[in-house]
Amino acid sequence: MSFTEIKNERFGEKYYTMKHSSGLRIMVSPKEGFKSTYAVIGTHFGSINSEFIHNGKKVKVPDGTAHYLEHKLFESEEGDAFKLYAKTGASANAYTSFDVTCYLFLCTDKFEESLEILFDLIQSPYFTPETVAKEQGIIGQEIKMYQDNPDWRSMMNLLQAMYSEHPVNKDIAGSVESIAEITPEILYECYNSYYNLNNMVLCVAGDVDPDTVLKIADKKLKKNEPVQTESIIPKEPYEVREKYVEQKLPVAVPMFTLGFKEDAPEEFISTKEALCTNIILEAFAGAGSALYRKLMDEGLINSSFGTEYFEGRGYRAVLFDGETKDPERTAEIIKDAVRELHKTGISKEDFENAKMAAYGKIAYGFDSTYAIASEMISAEFTGRGAFESADIISELTLEDVNERLKSQLDPDNCALSVIKGIDGAAEE
């Protein structure tokens, strides 16, 4: 059992990968001389995986279960993992997204001890009626906090407007009512279905030797036999559910999120397609674009304006968001610009500038242990190759990008989410 070296000749970067005897995929990028080491372990279990078939049995769990399970894994019979990390000096955290749950730490010293804690954490589930009930109040407060967060509400309101069937339209943390239904038995069911090491990946970047990681894995990881778990993802119609949704919250300036929904099979797009989309968004709406200048000149946006490609199993959309004094006018300008873009395509000059900017971001990412580890784990979960972006982007052509544009930014299939101030608290 040994590592395979994967090297990017263009940047002289490399990582080592192997399938450990326990079932865990391990990826290590040694960065000699770096002061910090970043480690993240994740499983392909997120909020959308609320219905699945495990060992032939169909299971449906309450909304917010994946996030709840993330919280509970930090507790064991021996105590709280955060207290253990405090002794090593590592900064630890975790997050649950729509598609994945990840546990991570950043350290400058005592890497081996911190990695042992991480391995213990994901292998030591401890759920009792008392400990599960105790967490309901904590997560309930977190849910209420997000209900008052205008950025999050703008996003979730948009997803509920765009998606009628796909569970991406549900809050990641669930609701106060749904988490009240979570029991130890439900958490163990999800843990046994998705926290199998064959369904997980560890990514490490920093001044660490791959053999050191392997030594700790050999010491701490228990062999897992593969399990049969099939997530049930409903087929989503192409059309958005509704075109406009609005909510009032105490904001000083109105906010908007405009989403262009796409047809989305369960497979992820390729690295080439993802890079083409990045170039399209940079050329069309980046800080140097004609659209950005027009919106700025009219006083409709500020530095909060941004774009995102929102993608997962069974959902894809291009998003624009930010603060604006006139959300409807801003959305109409963007849609008009999209219609014109489909007529003209991306210009050669805009393509070259956007390609150079994207290439620079890739190069810059190799100077960050966080960016490297995040790139590796994302590649593993999406089926894309880690470190391959630099080679693929160098070969992209204007024709590739304009071909990709044909399946994106449909101005007749978009939705607008608006957060406006409570009367008298917003626009002046």
Active-site residue set: 70
Contact 189, 62 (CB under 8 A): no
Burial class (CB in 10 A: 0-12, 13-18, 19+), 116: middle
Q: Which single residue is written with the structure tokens 């967490």?
A: 135
Distance, CA of 33 to CA of 307 (rounded, Å): 35
Task: Output the CA torsion sign for 310, 376, 110, 34.
Answer: negative
Structural element, H or E, at residue 14:
strand 13-19
Which of helix, strand or coil describes residue 345? coil
- How many C-beta atoms lie closer than 10 Å to residue 250's C-beta? 11
Which of 93, 114, 112 is closest to 42 using CA atoms? 93
Instruction: Please state the φ and ψ torsions of residue 91, each to the nearest 5 degrees.
Output: -95, 115
Instruction: Please state the φ and ψ torsions of residue 243, each to the nearest 5 degrees.
Output: -85, -25
Which of helix, strand or coil describes residue 300? coil
Structural element, H or E, at residue 306:
strand 306-312
Which of 2, 94, 368 is closest to 205 using CA atoms? 368
Q: Cα 420–425–428 angle (5° rounding)?
A: 90
The alpha-helical segments, DSSP class H, found in 37-183 are 65-72, 81-88, 111-123, 129-147, 150-162, 176-179
3-state secondary structure 45-77: CCCCCCEEEECCEEEECCCCHHHHHHHHCCEEC
Which of 266, 276, 228 is closest to 408 using CA atoms? 276
Which of 30, 39, 203 is closest to 106 using CA atoms? 39
Q: Which single residue is written with the structure tokens 């805009």?
A: 350
Non-local CB neighbours of 79 within 8 Å, separated by 6+ positions: none
Which of helix, strand or coil describes residue 324? coil
